[in-house]
Amino acid sequence: MKRVPLYSRTPVRTQAPAAGAPAASPEAAPDGEAEDPPGVLARAASRLRGALGRHERWAWAGFALLLAALAGWPSWVRHERQIPTFEQIDTAMRASIAKEPLASAAANAYEAVIGSVVRVVGEHPADRADPKEGEEHTSVGTGVVIVDKGIILTNLHVVSGAERIKVTFHTGLESEATLINVQPENDLAVLQAANRPDELEAATMRSTGGLRPGDEVIAVGFPFGIGPSTSQGVISGLKREFRSPQGKRVLTNLIQFDAAANPGNSGGPLVTMDGHVVGIVTAIMNPTEARTFIGIGFAVPIENAAAAAGLPPF
């Protein structure tokens, strides 16, 4: 028995048979009848096998690439979706810091100001009145450049009575300096260097208005002539008063700090962690004759120091 065709390319119109005409035989297939689907599929498979035979190398290469992609796909997905844990982040940060340690805030502050720090030496007459036995005829202190033309702030007691003043810049250049202004009530002196380095750095100054006890600071200078040296501490208090042991000096509105300071630090900058000068170191509390630091130092606010140099207030 023949199969009934599933579809035809052309519609077949059927007409009712005339009266008395014989019925059409079911075995007769109309013209234009479509081939069996199995036959079409067989020819397509044959053409595919032929194409694979002609391009066998390319076929195998493509198949290998497909297998490799499928094999690696799960790991790609896992990698894209992986989120590092807090412990992994902490471990990576510790390893990075151990490999390249971060500079401390104090070290950064020192680097910011050191180009402006100078050594100040006052040479006094050898026959001045009432010389003490073994007393030196020079006084050593510190200064800070506040104008790149060679204008330097220091303490008045470092250069008072000196017949000659010498300053040594951070570059090693030594120059004579002249006293151009004083502010005795704040123990401040302003110097003008005769020579200066070609690229002299002036310190950046900042108002003390935002200072609070506990803020970190460094003191930079030449304690006992050694330096430049730096020490770190905090602001201990504001608006303090200092009276010298002999009662000859009374200073008010001072910044109290606990960064180590000794003779030779006088006139040096008191610097915040952002590298800004907020005061000029001027005295240490010393109830004995040891002349060593016991934990209390004082600095003149930079507003007063800037006024002594004729600079506008902050």
- How far is Cα 144 from Cα 115, in angstroms, rounded to an integer? 9
* Catalytic option among 116, 124, 175, 187: 187
Q: Is 157 a catalytic residue?
A: yes
Q: Is 137 a catalytic residue?
A: no
Q: Is 266 a catalytic residue?
A: yes
Beta bridge partners of 189: 154, 182
* Catalytic option among 116, 124, 139, 157: 157
Cβ pair 245, 287 in contact under 8 A: yes
Which residues are designated catalytic?
Answer: 157, 187, 266
